[in-house]
Structure formats: structure tokens, C-alpha cells
Amino acid sequence: MRRAITVIVSLAICAGLLSGCWSQKELTDLAFIVAIGLDKTEDGKYLVTFQVVNPGNVAGATQRGGGAAGVPVSIYTSTGDTLVEASRKASEKLSRLPYYAHTNLIVVGEEVAREGLSGVLDAMERGNQLRPTAHLVIARTYLAKDVLTVLTPIDKISANQIIKTIEFSSKNWGETVHVDIWGAIHCLATAGRNLVITGVTVEGDLKRGKRQENVQSSVPDARIKLEGLALFKNDRLVDWVDGPSSRGVLWLLDCIRQTNLTVSWKGKKEAINYQVVRAKTDVKAKVKDGRPVISVHIQAEGDVIETRVPIDLSDASMLFQLEKEIKKNLKQEVEEAIETAQRDKTDVFGFGEAVHRTDPRLWKKIESKWHDRYFPELDVTVTADMYIRRTGLRNKPYTPRG
């Protein structure tokens, strides 16, 4: 009898402890926030922008072709002395409970980034809902609020479009990089490396881009565009790099997967297009005369995918000369990126980490002065091996008859 009572009591206790309904939340009571924008007001407070999904309109837009339904997202803003305060005050405008488990994008305004990201990232990391895998971008020229209010075609939710654009661009072009909250925190906590984050801006008429007509036209009045890389020193934004220099940064970070290099040939600019299909960057440090020096070696393979000049690609000597030209262009991009970072006194390449691995005792002595004294004067040697693996179906380009 005692045994039966014990079993019954145990089951009752387990049933109470394992009950899954105590924290239930109805879907109709939740506001699904997919993106957050962070700006500063004129009086120094945080201006937080919430991009909230309108589920019925997103589904309706998919079924009706995109134009007939209402807007897929709604924008709410709130201000506060801290991010948490601004988030709480949003309840004055939202009729539902803010739900951050589906937040995949954080857009940080340039002013906030220049003041420092430490406080921002601390608040995001401590939250029990916000995912540390949420993408992080910096709003350039425009406010983060402006970026999130532009309506986008194809991907109805602009946050999703920004995320997908970063992913595809970083794989195929190599001037952007994916950074999430956890990665940013890890970088800031690592000695000898500074942060690099992709920039995003608005191209076109911002006012018209906020209207539904922007997604009903084959040529939208405004588009969201990735633009440049933000270079940080400690947790503060100090400079931007664009074009080949931004790709040079990513060559040094070993983040290039595929990209294209155009080279001049016999006096004609952008004559031959070389597509990188595989790349690897090795960074090594050594100590010479008591000072650290860095050697960077880049190895890449690729294909010739376009020629605009007469060239015999079946000639091995021609291919060798072409590889030298490609190597020259690559080294120029990388050296420009190094010069920019040294001028800004910010080691975004992780050269300090390489020194730390090579000589921990020396690193302990120079760590406090690395970015301001040693890195700007650092001797960096760049070497590269570029190989042409394929030249396409035609070895000799045809010559149009005059």
C-alpha cells in the first residue's frame, strides 16, 4: 500500500513539474520582431526601431503576387536612455508582447557605432530571447531606421533581403562579410584583432521607398544596398573601406571564397577577367631584431572567363605572364588595405594574434601599445601564387572582321 501511495505521489509531483503550459503565450498575443535598428536622438538617447511582421500580409503577398496585399511589415520606434528602457517603452505603442526569438538582423546607426558597441552588445548578449546568431550591419549615410523602413521586392521582408544579400555577396564577390552578435563579441574580447562589419545604405528616393508603390514597380524608387566595410578600433567605428580595398581586407582575413579580378593587358585596361574559385591565405609572424614582422601568403586557383584582347591562351608562356599580372593586381589590393588599416591604427587582420602565437612573451610586453605604436610601423610582406586552371572552350578569341 505504501509503495502504491509513493508511486502515485511521485507521478503527481512529476506531472506538476513537467507541465508545459505554465509559460504559454498565444500567437495572437505576440509581435514577431525580425529586425532592430539602433540610432541616437539629438539629446543623446537611444532611438530603437522595431520591424514587426504582419503575418497575414506576408502570406497574402505570396499568394496574390505581391501587390494586392497590405505591407508585410510595420515599423515601431521607441526612445530611452538605455536599450532595455527603449525596448520596454515600446509596449506603449505595441498591442502585442515583443517577441525577439525570430530577430535575425541588427542594424546599427553610424553615430552609435562611432560611440562604441560594447554597451549595445552587452545588452543583446544578456537577453534570453535574442539569438547570438543575428546578423550585424552598420547603416551608412542613412539612419538605421531609414534602412528598415524601405520596402523591398522579391523578399517581402527587408531584413531577409539584407541577410540573403550578405550571404550571396560574400560567397560570390568578396567585398562583404557575415558578422553575427556572437562573432562580434568574440572579436572584441580577443587581443590583437579588431572588428570589421559590412555597411548597408539606401539607394534612390528614401521617401518613395517607404510606400507600397515601391514594390509594385519593376524599377523600385529605392533599394537597399550593401556598401563598404566598417573598420573598428576597440569597439568604435573609425573608418570605411570600399571597392578593391575592402576585398583586400577580406583576402587577409581568409574570407574570400569566389571573386573576380580584372587585369590590364598590353595597354588595355580591364582586358581580361579572372574568376577565383578557390583561395587560401596564411598569415605567419616571426621576430626579427626584437621586433615582430608578418608574412602573408595567398594561394588561389581560378579560370579565365572573359577576354577583350587577342591572346593565345594555349601558349604556356602567355598564361605565365597572365598569372603574373593577376598576382600584381591582387598584391595591390592587399597592400592598399594594409596601408589603410595602419593609417587608422587598427589591426583588423589579426596580425597581433599571429604575434601572440609565435612569441607570447614578446606579445605580453607590446600588447598595450600594439595598435598605436607597433602595428602602424609593422613590416608586412605579401606574396601570392595565382594559378589558371581553365581557359574556357576557346583558346584564341575571335577577331571581328572590319
pLDDT digits (tens, 9 = 90+) for 129-164: 889 999 999 999 999 999 999 999 989 899 999 999
215 pLDDT above the threshold of 50: yes
- Residue 111 burial (10 A CB sphere; 0-12, 13-18, 19+): middle
* Cα gap 196→212, rounded to integer Å: 34
- Helices (H) and strands (E) in the chain — how many of each? 13, 13
- Residue 312 burial (10 A CB sphere; 0-12, 13-18, 19+): exposed
Cell numbers placing 22: 505554465
288 pLDDT above the threshold of 70: yes
pLDDT in tens, 309-326: 888 898 999 999 999 999
Residue 66 pLDDT: 45
Residue 88 CB partners (closer than 8 Å, separation 6+): 80
336 pLDDT above the threshold of 60: yes
The model's pTM: 0.90
* Cα gap 225→209, rounded to integer Å: 13
* Cα gap 398→274, rounded to integer Å: 19
Identity at 323, one-letter amino acid code: E
Provide the residue ranges of all domains of the chain, joining segments of one domain with +: 25-241, 244-402
pLDDT in tens, 221-250: 999 999 999 999 999 999 999 999 999 999
Averaged pLDDT, 274-279: 96
Which residue is listed with cell 553615430?
Answer: 111
Identity at 97, one-letter amino acid code: L
* Cα gap 115→261, rounded to integer Å: 36
For the domain made up of 244-402, the CATH class stated in words is: alpha beta
379 pLDDT above the threshold of 70: yes
| Plot region of 124 (φ>0 → left; ψ -120 to 50 → alpha; else → beta) | alpha
Residue 24 pLDDT: 67
More confident residue, 61 or 299: 299
Cell numbers placing 312: 593565345
Averaged pLDDT, 178-184: 95
Chain-centroid distance of CA 364 in Å reads 31
C-alpha distances in Å from residue 177, one per residue of 48, 230, 353? 24, 10, 20
Residue 62 pLDDT: 47
Residue 22 pLDDT: 57
Q: CA nearest 348: which of 356, 358, 338?
A: 338
* Cα gap 208→215, rounded to integer Å: 10
Residue 201 pLDDT: 98
Averaged pLDDT, 82-104: 89
Residue 305 CB partners (closer than 8 Å, separation 6+): 260, 273, 274, 275, 392
385 pLDDT above the threshold of 90: yes
Band of the pLDDT at 97, cuts 50, 70, 90?
confident
* Cα gap 351→337, rounded to integer Å: 13
Averaged pLDDT, 327-353: 97
Which residue is listed with cell 593586381?
Answer: 329
Range among 15-19, 44-48, 82-86 rated most confident: 44-48
Residue 91 pLDDT: 82
Averaged pLDDT, 195-206: 97
Cell numbers placing 116: 562604441
Averaged pLDDT, 56-65: 56
Averaged pLDDT, 300-309: 94
81 pLDDT above the threshold of 50: yes
Averaged pLDDT, 189-211: 94
More confident residue, 129 or 211: 211
pLDDT in tens, 20-51: 565 667 777 888 999 999 999 999 999 999 99
Chain-centroid distance of CA 197 in Å reads 5
Residue 151 CB partners (closer than 8 Å, separation 6+): 71, 72, 73, 158, 209, 210, 211, 212, 214, 215
* Cα gap 312→399, rounded to integer Å: 12
What's the mean pLDDT when you consider all of the chain? 90
Residue 398 pLDDT: 72
Residue 194 CB partners (closer than 8 Å, separation 6+): 187, 231, 232, 233, 234, 346, 347, 348, 371
More confident residue, 76 or 266: 76
Residue 87 pLDDT: 87
- How much of the chain exceeds pLDDT 70, in percent? 92
Residue 235 CB partners (closer than 8 Å, separation 6+): 116, 117, 118, 121, 188, 195
